[in-house]
Each structure stands twice: as C-alpha cells, then as structure tokens.
Amino acid sequence: MDLRSLARELGLSTSTVSRALNGYHDVKEETRKRVFEAAEKFGYEASAVARRLRSRKAEAIGVILTPPQSQFADPFFLELLTGIDEALTGTPFHLLVTAAHDKKDELERIRRLVGGRRVDGLIFARTEADDPRIALLQQQGTPFATMGRSNAEQPFAWIDIDHRVVGEEAVRRLAGFGHRRIGLINTPAHLMYSHHCRQGYDRAHRDLGLPAHDDLVVDGGLDREAGRHGVDRLLALADPPSALICGNDMIAIGAMERLQERGLVVAKDVAVIGCDDQPLAQFSSPPLTTFAAPVRRAGRHLAELLLQVIEGASPQGLQEVWQPELVVRKSDGGPGTPR
C-alpha cells in the first residue's frame, strides 16, 4: 500500500495525506483522524527510501569496526554497539554496521557510506593523533562522533575514558603494595589512549620518585598475543618488573597465561592490573583486577551526541572525559608481598 492508493481510498490528495500523517497544521483535525484510521486499517507504512530521497536524509548512522582485531568478536565493540542501539531505539534512525579489514579499507568504507549518503553520520573508536578519518570527515563536513579524543584543530564530538587516570592510579596502587619495578604492556602507540596511559604512568613515577623505567614499557597489539609477547620481553630484563599494568584486559589475560606457563604465580610473584573490565575479566584465573570503562553507556551517549550534530548542533562543547573506576579482584596481589 503506497501513499497514492491510500489517498485515492480516502478521496484526498497525496499531499494532504502526507501532511496529515506528518503533523502539519493545515489539515483539519477531522480529516487527520480519518487519515490515521485509514492508514492503520490498510497497514500503510511510508517507504523509507522515498522519504529519504526527498528529504535528503539517510536516517541511519554508521559504525565502523576497526582493524586489526576488528570483528564483532571484540568485546569492546560489542558493548559500544549495544549502547548505540539503545540510544537509537525510538528514533527513526537505523544502525548500519561494517567491519573494515585494514586502514585503507576503513577510509574507503567511510567514503562509500558517506558518498552514497547511506548514513547521516558516523561513530568510530580508537582514535589516533592526526587521525585520517577525522581529517576526512571534517573536510567533508560529515557529522561524526568518536570514542576517544584526538588533536584535530576543529572541535568535534567525542567521549573519552581518561586513560591518564588508569596509568597513574595503577602505578600508585602497585607502588603502594611495595613494587618499585612496574612494567607497562601498552596498547599500540599510535592510539591516542595508549599515549594517555603512558602519560599517567610516567607522571606517577615522577611524583612518587620511582627509578628510571623506560625499559619497562613495551607496546604492540590489543590481543592476548601482545600480552604473552610483552611478558617475554619484560622478563628478559636484567632487573625484571614485579608488577604489570596492561593496556586492556585481553593483554592482561595473555600476560597472565604466559606468566603461569613460565612457572610464576600471578599476584604473588607478579601483580597484574588490566583495563576495561570486559566480561571475561571475572572468569580469568585469577580473576582480573582492572579499571572499568563504561563503554556501553559511552556508546549510548555517543549516539545522542551524534544525533545532536546531525540536527545541526555545533560540535563545540560536545566533549566529555569520563573517569575509569578500579574493580579489585585477585590479580593485583592485594596488600600482599612483592617477590
């Protein structure tokens, strides 16, 4: 059933029916009522495609899952998507999801999504310094919002978990347990939040007067393998660390695996702290002490910010820094004894 048939059925013009349905005020209340009843009766549902063509809106927002881990399997993106979908419920907006293979592919997909006007705006995560995605979208004037800030000139909408706090508080806590050599297995250095984590880590070392520590920092991937590799690198040092801060939970889990393979007892021999509080964190052995990042809530709020930008709001002021919160479990040695 299309608009024309419905109008014919009612003995009205398509314009009147359309305006009745869309709540314009130049249609008599009685007529509007008739229209709504007929629409209900015939199960009329406006063609989204036609409406979007005419009104030049896609009524959809796109989310790009980024390499390398990309995939839906990445628990971070899961939470983010859930939050975004929550925010979109009740709006006419749809959620369009696509996973990029590599960085080139990612830009290509953005171009396609925006060029073909498939989406009104985009959300993506894991921002970098001089992020090419941000540059592209700002140049095109496309609305977007990101999980993580960047250093772009122009303001844009973002939410960021303060990873400086993660780095800093983790060091303070571990130092409080007596550790002097605290390793950091960080996420890839090009990521903005990786940089922040390192900053916090450094600051705490400075403030607490801990010894030099450049050799105690390694970075690489986002996955278990990165954790395993980091452990091998750090334990090869002449004076290896007695505690490890990991850039995310998967790294931490990989690190704990490897420590155990090498005959060390997590928490007792080497303390471990993660970041993100993924569901897995409570199932690892030992259960992981980690910083909770409210990613789902962030996704919800990001979608809200993006909708505002799409409505024409200036991105000025649409930035928020959120504080992570420590979840204490068993992997950080509690008030226990360092090696």
Q: Which residues of 280-309 are buried (b: 16+ CB within 10 A; e: fewer)?
A: bbeebebebbbbebbbbebbbbbbbbbbbb
Residues 39-78 close enough to bind DNA by CB under 7 A: 44, 46-47, 49-51, 53-56
Q: How far is the CB of 19 from DNA (least distance, A)?
A: 5
* Structural contact between residues 25 and 32, judged by C-beta atoms closer than 8 angstroms: no
Q: Tell me which of a second copy, DNA, none is bound by residue 22, counting a contact when its beta carbon lies within the kind-specific cut-off of 5 to 8 angstroms.
A: DNA
Q: Is 26 in the site for DNA (CB under 7 A)?
A: yes
11 forms part of the interface with DNA (CB under 7 A)? yes
The number of C-alpha atoms within 13 Å of 322 and in the hemisphere containing its C-beta is: 21
Using CB distances below 5 to 8 A depending on partner kind, what does residue 152 bind out of a second copy, DNA, none?
none
Q: Which stretch binds a second copy (CB under 8 A): 111-119, 127-135, 196-204, 210-218?
A: 111-119
Residue 2 or 239 having the CB closest to a second copy: 2
By residue count, the chain amounts to: 339
- Which partner from the list DNA, a second copy, none does 118 bind, CB cut-off 5 to 8 Å by kind? a second copy
Shortest approach of a second copy to residue 95 CB, angstroms? Answer: 5
Q: Residue 210: enclosing H or E segment and its boundaries?
A: none
| 28 is an interface residue for DNA by CB under 7 A | yes
Is the CA virtual torsion 149, 111, 296, 94 positive or negative?
positive
Q: Is 88 left (phi over 0), alpha (psi -120 to 50) or beta?
A: alpha
311, containing H or E segment? none
Partner from a second copy, DNA, none contacting 43, C-beta within 5 to 8 A by type:
a second copy
Q: Which residues bind DNA (CB under 7 A)?
A: 2-4, 11-16, 18-19, 21-22, 26-28, 31, 44, 46-47, 49-51, 53-56
